[in-house]
Amino acid sequence: MDLEVENGGIEADRVRVWGKSLPVPSVQEMVRNDSESVPERYIQENDNRPLNSALCSELSEIPVIDFSLLVNGNEDELNKLDFACIEWGFFQEVLRDMKAAVAEFFSLSLDEKKKYSMPENDLQGYGQAYVVSKEQKLDWGDLIFLMTSPLEARNMKYWPNSVPGFKEAVDEYSREVERVSEEIMANMSFFMGMDKNGLKRLHVVMKQSMRMNYYPPCSRPDLVLGVSSHSDGGSITILLQDDDITGLQIKHKGGWLPVKPIPNALVVNIGDAVEAWSNGIYKSIEHRAVTNSNKARMSVATFVQADEGIEIGPVESMMQDRPRMYKNVKYLDYIKHVLGRKMDGKAHTNFLKLESE
């Protein structure tokens, strides 16, 4: 590989213009030193606390898509995918994992993890994201965020070389997730009245990044959130969860619906860019992560994003039987808007919408 790419070159540094996050203490280390206390800054406002938020009254199951059948054009699976995108914004499918590499990183000492710390003027590295003020409530978790594709966007100084096999595990997982995301978007393109490469063309360059999360146990899980409620600013997000710990919740019909893990499966959700391209037919879904008092939980969120130089807005085929609901905006402007504020449900998506919507 070219030396500039391996070490993080010009393209790798461009991600810094997207946004930044203030440094905060490691929650994992805080719990290690004192497992009973919950500092005030992590205690959510009353309405945002897990036990004070209404759970979804329905017992509906989130659609499960069999990827092997989807690739072969099975009509039932295609219909399930279309329903999942319209009704839920979330679905699950089987794929391989990279959990061991993530677990190994978070088992390192704090001093070792700090070698890959996220500086104030960058989004990549170890720390916590969306911290834009010293007064805001903090999430109960740590993370490491990496740009993974294209290769020239990587900044290898944030990739933990002290974890044997980490790079290889991420490389392999990145390739598999790319294959899945391309197949999903090819089918979604048909639903949106385009040929199979429609969404891929809209991206110009399909970029990929990963957020690897560690949520320590909390003595008062009723007071904190692992990740505050939000929707994702990209096209689609592919989430790898722990097999036996339910932490993800999605907003559905006014309540919060826990997403029970399926072993060796992925959860895929629609992002804000697809909501804009589809003129609001496919909604990005508000979601959050909760904690528990017994066991740490890990997850890996892989974000598929368009090139920051494009504009996003409704495609013609999604305005045939529906008035235009979203405006055209520069994608870089939108990403800066999302990353420059704390997570706050779907409030940031108003930036995409026409004033009359």
Question: pLDDT value at position 76?
Answer: 79
Separation CA 279–CA 270 (nearest Å): 13
Picking from 214, 87, 197, the residue whose alpha carbon sits closest to that of residue 143 is: 214
DSSP 97-123: --HHHHHHHHTS-HHHHGGGBPPTT-S
Q: Block means of pLDDT (10 residues each) for the chain, length 357 residues? A: 42 53 90 94 90 57 67 73 60 57 96 93 88 91 97 95 92 88 92 96 97 97 96 95 90 88 83 97 94 95 96 97 96 92 90 78
Is residue 278, in this structure, part of any structural domain at all? yes
Is residue 131, in this structure, part of any structural domain at all? yes
Question: pLDDT value at position 58?
Answer: 56
Burial track 204-221 (b if 16+ CB lie within 10 A, e otherwise): eebbbbbbbbbbbebeeb
For residue 256, what are the β-bridge partners? 55, 251
The token pair that represents 135 in the structure block:
């007064």
Separation CA 154–CA 19 (nearest Å): 16
Question: pLDDT value at position 16?
Answer: 44
Is residue 177, in this structure, part of any structural domain at all? yes
For residue 64, what are the β-bridge partners? 92
**What's the pLDDT tens digit per position in 195-212?**
999 999 999 999 999 999
Q: Is 279 left (phi over 0), alpha (psi -120 to 50) or beta?
A: left
The domain that holds 204 is classified in CATH as 2.60.120.330
Domain residues for 229? 27-35+80-351
Is residue 122, in this structure, part of any structural domain at all? yes
Question: pLDDT value at position 4?
Answer: 37
Question: pLDDT value at position 55?
Answer: 61
Is residue 243, in this structure, part of any structural domain at all? yes
Question: pLDDT value at position 7?
Answer: 47
- Which residue reads 């679905």 in tokens? 91
Is residue 190, in this structure, part of any structural domain at all? yes
Is residue 5, in this structure, part of any structural domain at all? no
Is residue 90, in this structure, part of any structural domain at all? yes
pTM of the model: 0.86
Question: pLDDT value at position 30?
Answer: 94
Question: pLDDT value at position 293?
Answer: 95
**In total, how many domains does the chain have?**
1
